[in-house]
Amino acid sequence: MHDEHVNPWQTLSTQSVYDNPWISVREDQVINPKGGRGIYGVVHMKNKAIGIIPIDAEGNTYLIGQYRYALNEYSWEIPMGGGLIEIDLLESAKRELKEETGFTAQRWTNIARLHTSNSVTDEEGFVFLAEDLIAGETEFEETEDLKIKKLPFAKAVQMVMNNEITDCISVAGILKAHKILRERHP
């Protein structure tokens, strides 16, 4: 009988190979679950990933478009960013929504916890549904060159289904929000 809570990996040693303010990378010497020796590289994220799905009174949402350096391509996504581990998730979500869209929201629901690529990173993401929106001014960060697209939420779902939205936090969040919203209003 296999106990799923027992770690079958054995770490022999660990070495930091890279570190910056956002991530660190380590290489572990390991014995894998079958008894073989090897290496395992782990990317440690120093923030939580926070995504927000804003829904206005007419059923529209707002996507953020930006060029993603690591992918070398343009990406449409839900508003998102990094939340400091020591800061409350909801406070980080409120800050990100305001920065990227200018909106504040009166109603917040945490709808998802996810791991973005759990074979290589410990990144943990959270998605919030933000409703009862109040418009305001954006507060883009210096590194951000963002476009905001207002569209019916159903169109965002279709963009996911057509592979026009590929960011995993956006995909998971939009599909989960779609189910939640349909259950509220069948």
User: What 3-state class would DSSP assign to 117?
Assistant: coil
Is pLDDT at 9 greater than 90 in this prediction? yes
pTM of this structure: 0.91
171/85: higher pLDDT: 171
Of 38-47, 160-169, 177-186, least confident by mean pLDDT is: 177-186
Q: Give residue 17's Cα distance to chain centre.
A: 25
Average confidence (pLDDT) over 130-153: 86
Of 48-57, 100-109, 123-132, 142-151, least confident by mean pLDDT is: 142-151
Local confidence band at 141 (pLDDT 50, 70, 90 cut-offs): low
E strand segments, the chain: 10-19, 23-31, 37-45, 47-55, 60-68, 73-77, 80-84, 104-115, 124-134, 147-152
Q: What is the pLDDT of residue 142?
A: 64
What is the rounded distance in angstroms from the CA atom of residue 12 to the CA atom of residue 31?
7
Burial 34-60 (b: 16+ CB within 10 A, else e): eeeeeeeeeeebebbbbbbbbbbeeeb
Is pLDDT at 93 greater than 90 in this prediction? yes
Spatial neighbors of 90 by CB under 8 A, at least 6 apart, are 108, 110, 128
Is pLDDT at 143 greater than 70 in this prediction? no
Average confidence (pLDDT) over 99-107: 95
Is pLDDT at 140 greater than 70 in this prediction? no
What is the rounded distance in angstroms from the CA atom of residue 22 to the CA atom of residue 26?
14
Is pLDDT at 68 greater than 80 in this prediction? yes
